[in-house]
Structure 1
Amino acid sequence: MRIFLIGFMGVGKTTFGKRLAKRLAVPFIDLDHLIEEHTGGSVADYFATHGEDAFRLLEKEILQQTNFPENAVISTGGGAPCFFDNMDWMNAQGKTIYIQMPATAIADRLKNAKEERPLIKGLKGESLINFIEERLLARELHYKKAHLTLNGHNLNPENVVELL
C-alpha cells in the first residue's frame, strides 16, 4: 500500500519514513526531493524566487501527477496536505499518517536543523514557537483527516506496521 506521511516540518517524516520503508521493504519517496529534481534547485531557492503560492501549486502538481508505486512510503512537505485538495487526494490514493508533536518540541528540533526552512527563516525562541503554534492551529483541520495519528516521539516502525 501507499503510505503518505504528513505533519509539520521537523516532526521526522523523512527520518521515520526511511525506517518504515526499510521495514516494509518498499521504496521511500520524499516529495521535496521530487520537486528539487523537477526544478533543478532547492525547495528553499524556489520558494524564495517564486513565492509560496507558486510553490504550493508546483507541489500539488508534483504530488498528484507523479505515478507513485503501489507500495511505497511517501514523505510530504508540512504544508502539502493543507492546500488545494491534496489531503483528500492522498486519502484516496493510500493510507495517510499524521505525525503529531507539540510546538515546543518542533521548535527544539528546528532550531538545530541543518537545512534552511523558508517559512521560519530568521525566527528564534518565542517567535518561532508562536509561529509554529499558529500554523499548527491552522493546519490541524487538514492533518486530522489522516487515517492514523502518531505521537512523533519515539516512533517505531514495528508498531506502525501492526497498526496498518
Structure 2
Amino acid sequence: MEIKRVFLVGFMGSGKSTLGRRLKHEMSWNFLDLDDVFEEKFQTTIKQYFADYGEDAFRIAEKECLHDVMHLENVIIATGGGTPCFFDNMEVMNKNGLTIYLKLSVETIISRLSSGKNVRPLVADKSGDELYNFIDEKLKEREGFYSQSKVIADAEILSVDAYVNIIRASSDLSS
C-alpha cells in the first residue's frame, strides 16, 4: 500500500510546519498546516477562537478540519500540537497515512517557543519556571498519544533527507 499522506505530530514548536514545507519541495507533494486549514474554514485565528469559544469547542472544530483533509493524496499535513490527543484523531491518522512524531526535549521546545509565544494561546501568558513546568507536564500527558505514531523521530538531529528516506522506506514496506 503506497503512502498517500503523511501526518507530522508533536508538541507546539517541534518544527512540524517548517519540516512540512521543506518536505513539500523535496517530495513534490502538497503541504497543509492544519492550523491554516482551521483558520480558513472558520475565518478567525485560533487564538481568537480559543478566546471566544474555549478549548473544548476548538478541539471539536479541529477534529472536523482533520476529517476534511483525509481524502487528499500526496500531502504532508502538519497537525496542531494537541490534535493527536483528542477523540480518535491519532487512530484516524494512523489508519489513513504515515504518522511521524517529531520528538524534542522540553528545553529545545522552550528555546523554539521563546520567540513566538504570543501567537500560541496555551503558552502566551507563561514564562520561566511556569513555562517549563507547563511544557513538561503537557508533554508527559501527550507522550502516550504521540508515541502511537508509526515513526518516532529525534527531531533534534534528523535532516530533511532523513525524513524523505523514512517516508519512502515506509511506503516501500507497506507495498
Tell me if TM exceeds 0.5. Answer: yes
The one of 14, 17, 20 aligned to 1:17: 20
* Identity between Structure 1 and Structure 2 (%): 43
Number of equivalenced pairs: 164
115 and 2 in structure 1: CA distance in 2 versus 1, 3 angstrom threshold: farther
Question: Could you say which residue in structure 2 is the equivalent of 1:130?
Answer: 133
Counterpart of 1:4 in structure 2: which amino acid? F
Deviations 1:27-49 (A, max 9, x none): 00010001000111111111111
SS of equivalent to 2:119: coil
Structure 1 length-normalised TM: 0.96
Does the Cα contact within 8 Å between 2:102 and 2:154 map onto a contact in 1?
A: yes
Question: Could you say which residue in structure 2 is the equivalent of 1:82?
Answer: 85
142 and 67 in structure 1: CA distance in 2 versus 1, 3 angstrom threshold: closer
Note the C-alpha offset of 1:134: 0.3
Question: What are structure 2's unaligned runs of at least 5 residues?
Answer: 168-175
Structure 1 Cα separation of the partners of residues 66 and 143 of structure 2 = 20
SS of equivalent to 1:118: coil
Note the C-alpha offset of 1:68: 4.0
Counterpart of 2:141 in structure 1: which amino acid? A
Does the Cα contact within 8 Å between 1:31 and 1:63 map onto a contact in 2?
A: yes
138 and 157 in structure 1: CA distance in 2 versus 1, 3 angstrom threshold: same
Counterpart of 1:98 in structure 2: which amino acid? Y
163 and 67 in structure 1: CA distance in 2 versus 1, 3 angstrom threshold: closer
Structure 2 Cα separation of the partners of residues 28 and 63 of structure 1 = 14
SS of equivalent to 1:163: helix
Question: What are structure 1's unaligned runs of at least 5 residues?
Answer: none
Question: Could you say which residue in structure 2 is the equivalent of 1:151?
Answer: 154
Note the C-alpha offset of 1:152: 1.7
Alpha-carbon RMSD across the aligned residues, in angstroms, is 1.2
Structure 2 Cα separation of the partners of residues 10 and 71 of structure 1 = 24
Does the Cα contact within 8 Å between 1:3 and 1:72 map onto a contact in 2?
A: yes
Does the Cα contact within 8 Å between 2:117 and 2:123 map onto a contact in 1?
A: no
SS of equivalent to 1:161: helix
SS of equivalent to 1:37: helix
Query: Does 1:107 find its partner at 2:120?
Result: no
Deviations 1:117-141 (A, max 9, x none): 1011210011101100000000000
Note the C-alpha offset of 1:151: 1.3
Note the C-alpha offset of 1:67: 4.6
Structure 2 Cα separation of the partners of residues 89 and 10 of structure 1 = 23
Structure 1 Cα separation of the partners of residues 18 and 89 of structure 2 = 22
